[in-house]
Chains A and B, each alone.
Chain A
């Protein structure tokens, strides 16, 4: 097509110039296409990015919890970033059971000492790693731990997956003891 258009416009041009004209045309089409693609991608990006967590959502990064009233064997559920977090004051048996689990064959191997900063406090993101349900409180599952009612995943007293479809242990969120009474969950962002 380019060749005929060219020859009509400049009928006196030598035929030998045409291949060069064609490659010039190809280059222009490619360059225009590439620049357009970048332009379209740039225009689409704000729409895609608008779905990501907004500034007010990101601002809910940390939660402070008073744990002074939490007795041995008691568990509370606190919201953090809109998600439930279990804080369990473990009994000696629960700690012993968790330590015993260290030596067993685990689907997602982890030592209890790596999961609990202080052995008596277990802090878990209460979201089943299978499909995001909230497991039931301590003592409901086999291994003395947590049972997820949706698809039957059993977690032990360290929140490690022992039985059922969940692929991973319950996540331990970032947390720190501000003092003996106060637990801070999460890390400030931005």
Chain B
């Protein structure tokens, strides 16, 4: 009976064939390690965010006079409102964690190299959309950090020559961040996750066109010897990882839900007073540090800082062409591997600088953090430059790669 129904459907829409070729029997390299589970974990985060976000939207009011109280209403009065909100707020943190690991995994094993450039680009577009969505979502509780975070980030646009000032007023819908800004940010925060979902489908389409990279970074020679079917081998691995992920995620949601949140955001937004220390969410800190580190160019500092911050992400687009090595995976590239870990440590250092006040110092004033920030910014961009130098001029001698998986 069910077979004849499926036959009827398949004759009209070949679902069974699609599931077979793209899911159950989809060939995956047999040597994928656990760093490969973060793609599906990120997708899981997106689904959690869409679901909790939809139900939060049913209780939230995007009005400057009501938004703060609406969030407290969700926390205190709505049945399981606290759970929905803590899942959503911490979900953002865990979404970024999985995405950052996913990106770094790609950079380490050369997953951005030919023929996967378009797959990589769509990944960066997702990352960019994710940052825009997270930023606008953070504005919605309308606390002090929400308000002033929005003020600082929207003011970045005013650095654009000629049209900047008018552009900012247009984005605000007023002469400062206010009710119209909150309202449109809510609308866009609702829309963008669905746009992200669409781009994720293109990302997966691009993945299935060129297939997964693997830790050795070499091509599949013999599909029968080198690959295993997605189901059950990868599905069980992804599910097991999801269990571990949920363990950590739930520990934060239930036992330290405010760990990543700022106390100042429980003070209602006040356009007349800036908090003593504005700090963005942790996932923006490295980029925030890069923005602040350009302060030595006089009246051009602001524009240069904004350009540097944008370039820090945009440079990922040309990464596939900067790396000229014949070997994809850093597993066989000792010099690149060292540079990579310096880069990772540098990102953490930038985050630490971004977390501290702009004029903070260490060692009794002997070391202003702005100097650390400038150095780390130089190292950040230096990574990409050196990667090009050592591969374009054959300075790095890669180790021999295996002939097959």
For the complex, is A62 an interface residue (Cβ under 8 Å from B)?
A: no
- The secondary structure that dominates the A interface is loop
Cross-chain contact B176 with A152 (CB below 8 angstroms): no
For the complex, is B338 an interface residue (Cβ under 8 Å from A)?
A: no
Q: Which of A26-34, A37-45, A114-122, A162-170 contacts B (4 or more CB under 8 A)?
A: A162-170
Measured CA separation A166–B357 after assembly (Å): 16
- B146 → chain A, closest Cβ, in Å? 14
Residues of A within 8 A of B273 (CB): 77, 84, 134
Measured CA separation A79–B273 after assembly (Å): 11
Measured CA separation A132–B148 after assembly (Å): 8
Cross-chain contact B173 with A151 (CB below 8 angstroms): no
- B187 → chain A, closest Cβ, in Å? 11
Residues of B within 8 A of A135 (CB): 274
Q: Which of B75-83, B95-103, B121-129, B296-304 contacts A (4 or more CB under 8 A)?
A: B296-304
- A112 → chain B, closest Cβ, in Å? 20
Residues of A within 8 A of B263 (CB): none
Measured CA separation A127–B152 after assembly (Å): 11
Chain A minimum-CB-distance residue to B178: A82
Measured CA separation A23–B17 after assembly (Å): 49
Query: Which one of B176, B274, B276, B358 contacts A82 once the chains associate, using CB atoms below 8 Å?
Result: B176
Query: Which one of A52, A130, A133 contacts B169 once the chains associate, using CB atoms below 8 Å?
Result: A52
Residues of A within 8 A of B199 (CB): none
For the complex, is A66 an interface residue (Cβ under 8 Å from B)?
A: no
Cross-chain contact B156 with A84 (CB below 8 angstroms): no
- B161 → chain A, closest Cβ, in Å? 12
Residues of A within 8 A of B295 (CB): 151, 164-165
Q: How large is the interface on A (under 10, 10 to 19, 20 to 34, 35 or more residues)?
A: 20 to 34
Chain A minimum-CB-distance residue to B64: A82
Residues of A within 8 A of B152 (CB): 131-133, 150
* Contact (A131, B155) CB under 8 Å given A83-B175, A150-B358, A165-B301: yes
Which of A48, A54, A83, A135 has most chain B Cβ within 10 Å?
A: A83
For the complex, is A81 an interface residue (Cβ under 8 Å from B)?
A: yes
Chain A minimum-CB-distance residue to B154: A132
Cross-chain contact A149 with B151 (CB below 8 angstroms): no
Residues of A within 8 A of B359 (CB): 152
For the complex, is B320 an interface residue (Cβ under 8 Å from A)?
A: no
For the complex, is A108 an interface residue (Cβ under 8 Å from B)?
A: yes
- A44 → chain B, closest Cβ, in Å? 14
Query: Which one of B155, B275, B294, B298 contacts A132 once the chains associate, using CB atoms below 8 Å?
Result: B155
- A26 → chain B, closest Cβ, in Å? 34
For the complex, is B184 an interface residue (Cβ under 8 Å from A)?
A: yes
* Contact (A54, B180) CB under 8 Å given A150-B152, A150-B278: yes
For the complex, is B292 an interface residue (Cβ under 8 Å from A)?
A: yes
For the complex, is A57 an interface residue (Cβ under 8 Å from B)?
A: yes
Cross-chain contact B173 with A150 (CB below 8 angstroms): no
For the complex, is A107 an interface residue (Cβ under 8 Å from B)?
A: yes
Residues of B within 8 A of A130 (CB): 155, 302
Measured CA separation A149–B278 after assembly (Å): 8
For the complex, is B334 an interface residue (Cβ under 8 Å from A)?
A: no
Residues of B within 8 A of A53 (CB): 169, 172-175, 180
What are 26 of the A-B contact pairs (CB < 8 Å)? A51-B170, A51-B173, A53-B173, A54-B180, A57-B180, A77-B273, A81-B176, A82-B176, A82-B271, A127-B176, A130-B302, A132-B154, A133-B148, A133-B152, A133-B274, A134-B273, A135-B274, A136-B276, A149-B276, A150-B148, A150-B278, A151-B292, A151-B295, A165-B302, A167-B301, A167-B302
8 shortest interchain CB distances as A-B pairs: A132-B155, A81-B175, A152-B358, A165-B295, A152-B359, A167-B299, A134-B274, A133-B274
Additional pairs, 10, CB under 8 Å, beyond known A53-B175, A84-B271, A133-B274: A51-B170, A57-B174, A77-B273, A79-B271, A81-B176, A83-B176, A134-B274, A149-B274, A166-B302, A167-B298
Chain B residues near A (Cβ < 8 Å): 148, 151-152, 154-156, 158, 169-176, 178, 180, 184, 271-278, 292, 294-295, 298-302, 305, 357-359
